[in-house]
A and B are shown apart, each in its own frame.
Chain A
Amino acid sequence: MSTPEREITFAEAVREALAEEMRRDSNVFIMGEDVAEAGTPFKVLSGLVEEFGKERVMDTPISEPGFTGMGIGAAITGMRPVIDIMFGDFLTLTMDQIVNQAAKIHYMSGGKMKAPIVFRTTMGASRRSGAQHSQSLQAWVSHVPGLKVVIPSTPYDVKGLLKTAIRDDNPVVFIEDKMMFKMKGPVPAEEYTIPFGVADIKRKGDDITLVATSSMVQVALGAANMLEQIGISAEVIDPRTTTPLDRQAFIESAKKTSRAIVIDEGYESYGVTAEIASVIADGAFYYLDAPVKRMGAMNVPIPFSPALEDLTVPTEETVFQMAKTLCRRD
């Protein structure tokens, strides 16, 4: 008889991963704005300072480039910092430190130095937060050699991937969807990690492949349910990490289904979807019955008004419609 699976929220899974790794390795510490008693504005880190103290859960001034750079200095001298960048939009402030410093230290030193550091940040619209607190900038960091990039979509994945990120010897940008923090899902009580570069099939299907990341996985699953009603069987694949990227998984799925849509909440132009779509077009060309389609955030600054904001992000309905068209069922 199997034990009933435990359910926890996405935020609890993040917290558990951090707590377990901090217990395991005394070099792991957290640094960022309002991470200690406040537990971040999203309350994701609540309780950690009580267990680990203010030396290991460090509140900083509002100085993103400063504490990001200091994290890198600590990482190359023996520590394993987890840097908290409250909103993904603020990644732009830290770009020199992440892109020109952390990502290149190992290579530029001919392999002599390494920067084992995690930059935890957020993404996603739909919170009525306006144009400077709603972006999904995973394409920016996925573009840069030397960085690994994780965009988890479930409580199970976020816990296993965050533990792997903290143990990785490279700089890892770890992007969590703000809208998912309260989402519940099964997470075993036993310890586990999830390797990078292994896509996960969230739903099996035969007629069309929906490659979806982070917030878009639930959207794709919802669309798949709608498609089932009209007799279309959709496969939903989640890359989980954009670097490294599990190219073979998308190619195999597209070869099987002969159609694919790639969905990611970053801006559609030059986005994560473009990279994955080209991988599929390249690797499954002779098996495709339709062009590979891409769906991302509309190419506009994210508007505040709910009436407008909701138009900018792919939804179950828009994915459903696109899939129907690709399968010539409209």
Chain B
Amino acid sequence: MTRKTESATKRSPEAMDVEQWLHVYEKMVKIREFEEKANELYLKAIMPGLTHLYSGQEAVAVGVCEALRREDYITSTHRGHGHCLAKGASVDLMFAELLGKEAGYCRGKGGSMHIADPASGNLGANAIVGGSAGIATGAALSAKKRGSDQVAVCFFGEGALGQGLLYEVMNMASLWKLPIIYVCENNLYNEYTHYSEALAGKVTARAEAFGIHAETIDGQDVQLVYETTKRLVERARRGEGPAFLECMTYRYYGHHVGDISRTYYRSKEEEQEWRNKRDPLKLLADKLVGGKLTDQSVLDRIVTDVRSEVEKGMQFGIDAPYPDQSEVNQHVYA
């Protein structure tokens, strides 16, 4: 891959407020641990259906959402657990939703691919690839109409670059200077196909064609993702219009939990390379400990605490009751 990405390794975390970065680290660990448990629930046949794990991409969701306020909007994707947690959802209600329980965020009616938590600004995950581009852009239009200074972020995988809807709404977002950031998580694969087989030209050029400011960055460096997003969000809040951010990243697991044998589309070496050299959690830990901003023991403690929170949350989901059968035809109409 000969993509130009801004190098982050040289950047130091000194400017960071340590408390904030420990918080960021905790969020990334929470996503990682949540997904480990989600995978376990699938493997033990406790979880109905399939799910798409976010492991490996944590720095994108956390870095972006760290630059947002609670009332700012996001829309998410089929690979959405990371976005939910980063925007402020809690693990117990998420597990309950994954397991189809009434206590879940959507009373068990949404499931893994449809978690919505409007209270934390999460307008919902979407199982239609690129399907939320209109919704996110409409939320930005609404924010502008209501005179609020909310910003919307539309998360999508690079596979959504094949959907026409995205280009229709980017055109309108630019025309009307809407406060929206299009965050393209380029994890290299559209399901089982390398993106280079599905994508012509340069990604950022697509946004630039609409007069939208566009950048490609290393999506494994949470500090870089955060700082870049912060700049783009401030710009949008000032009324300077939309931006497009391509984050280069990687999913550690299969396209979904059942995608176990992957060698026909990507090598084990490639997977190891990303896990060993580009892991977003390790990269941040190295910066914090290496820069003597904190001790490894503090990070270990965070991991221990998060593990117990996730463990409890999972148990909550398992123990929670299913919805009553009378729920089946409730909420069809408001």
Inter-chain contact B146/A79, CB cutoff 8 Å: yes
Does A32 count as interface, using CB distance less than 8 angstroms? no
Within residues 124 to 167 of chain B, which ones have a CB less than 8 A from any CB in chain A?
124, 126, 128, 131-143, 145-146, 152, 164-165
Given A76-B135, A77-B143, residue A63 in contact with residue B171 (CB < 8 A): yes
Does A296 count as interface, using CB distance less than 8 angstroms? no
Interface mask (A232-255 → B, CB under 8 Å = 1, otherwise 0): 000000000000000000000000
Interface centre among A69, A78, A111 (most CB of B within 10 A): A69
- Residues of chain B within 8 A (CB-CB) of A60 are 172
Does B331 count as interface, using CB distance less than 8 angstroms? yes
How far apart are B75's CB and chain A's nearest CB, in angstroms? 8
Inter-chain contact A148/B333, CB cutoff 8 Å: yes
How far apart are B84's CB and chain A's nearest CB, in angstroms? 13
Within residues 90 to 143 of chain A, which ones have a CB less than 8 A from any CB in chain B?
96-97, 100-101, 105-114, 116
Inter-chain contact B139/A109, CB cutoff 8 Å: no
Inter-chain contact B164/A65, CB cutoff 8 Å: yes
Inter-chain contact A145/B332, CB cutoff 8 Å: yes
- Residues of chain B within 8 A (CB-CB) of A70 are 134-135, 137-138, 141, 169, 172
Within residues 79 to 126 of chain B, which ones have a CB less than 8 A from any CB in chain A?
104-110, 114, 116-118, 123-124, 126
Interface mask (B159-196 → A, CB under 8 Å = 1, otherwise 0): 00000110011011001000000000000000000000
Does A154 count as interface, using CB distance less than 8 angstroms? no
Expressed in whole angstroms, the Cα–Cα distance for A51 and B138 within the complex equals: 24
Inter-chain contact B334/A72, CB cutoff 8 Å: no
Give A75's nearest chain B residue, CB to CB. B138
Q: Using a Cβ–Cβ cut-off of 8 Å, how many residues does chain A contribute to the interface with B?
A: 40
Does B54 count as interface, using CB distance less than 8 angstroms? no
Does B25 count as interface, using CB distance less than 8 angstroms? no
Inter-chain contact B116/A113, CB cutoff 8 Å: yes
Give B329's nearest chain A residue, CB to CB. A145
How far apart are A286's CB and chain B's nearest CB, in angstroms? 29
Does A7 count as interface, using CB distance less than 8 angstroms? no
Q: Using a Cβ–Cβ cut-off of 8 Å, how many residues does chain B contribute to the interface with A?
A: 45
Inter-chain contact A79/B145, CB cutoff 8 Å: yes
- Residues of chain A within 8 A (CB-CB) of B136 are 73
How far apart are B118's CB and chain A's nearest CB, in angstroms? 6
Q: Which of A68, A79, A146 contacts B333 (CB 8 A)?
A: A146
Q: Which of B145, B152, B169 contacts A69 (CB 8 A)?
A: B169
Inter-chain contact B134/A97, CB cutoff 8 Å: yes
Give A147's nearest chain B residue, CB to CB. B333
Does B73 count as interface, using CB distance less than 8 angstroms? yes
How far apart are B34's CB and chain A's nearest CB, in angstroms? 20
- Residues of chain B within 8 A (CB-CB) of A106 are 331-334
Inter-chain contact A66/B169, CB cutoff 8 Å: yes
Inter-chain contact A100/B116, CB cutoff 8 Å: no
Q: Which of A63, A78, A79, A111 contacts B331 (CB 8 A)?
A: A111
Does A271 count as interface, using CB distance less than 8 angstroms? no
Does B330 count as interface, using CB distance less than 8 angstroms? yes
- Residues of chain A within 8 A (CB-CB) of B332 are 106-107, 145-146
How far apart are A103's CB and chain B's nearest CB, in angstroms? 9
Inter-chain contact A69/B331, CB cutoff 8 Å: no
Give B125's nearest chain A residue, CB to CB. A108
Expressed in whole angstroms, the Cα–Cα distance for A170 and B332 within the complex equals: 9
Inter-chain contact B330/A111, CB cutoff 8 Å: yes
- Residues of chain B within 8 A (CB-CB) of A69 are 131, 133-135, 137-138, 165, 169
Inter-chain contact A109/B333, CB cutoff 8 Å: no
Expressed in whole angstroms, the Cα–Cα distance for A116 and B171 within the complex equals: 25
Q: Which of A61, A71, A76, A110 contacts B168 (CB 8 A)?
A: A61
Expressed in whole angstroms, the Cα–Cα distance for A112 and B141 within the complex equals: 21
How far apart are B114's CB and chain A's nearest CB, in angstroms? 5
- Residues of chain B within 8 A (CB-CB) of A105 are 116, 124
Expressed in whole angstroms, the Cα–Cα distance for A77 and B133 within the complex equals: 15
Expressed in whole angstroms, the Cα–Cα distance for A68 and B138 within the complex equals: 9
Expressed in whole angstroms, the Cα–Cα distance for A109 and B113 within the complex equals: 11
Expressed in whole angstroms, the Cα–Cα distance for A75 and B118 within the complex equals: 13
Inter-chain contact A61/B175, CB cutoff 8 Å: yes
- Residues of chain A within 8 A (CB-CB) of B135 are 69-70, 72-73, 76, 101
Inter-chain contact A68/B134, CB cutoff 8 Å: yes
Give B102's nearest chain A residue, CB to CB. A110
14 contacts between A and B (CB under 8 A): A29-B145, A55-B145, A60-B172, A66-B169, A69-B133, A70-B137, A73-B134, A74-B141, A108-B116, A109-B109, A109-B116, A111-B334, A112-B116, A145-B332
4 pairs of A and B residues whose beta carbons are closest in the complex: A69-B134, A73-B138, A66-B168, A110-B107
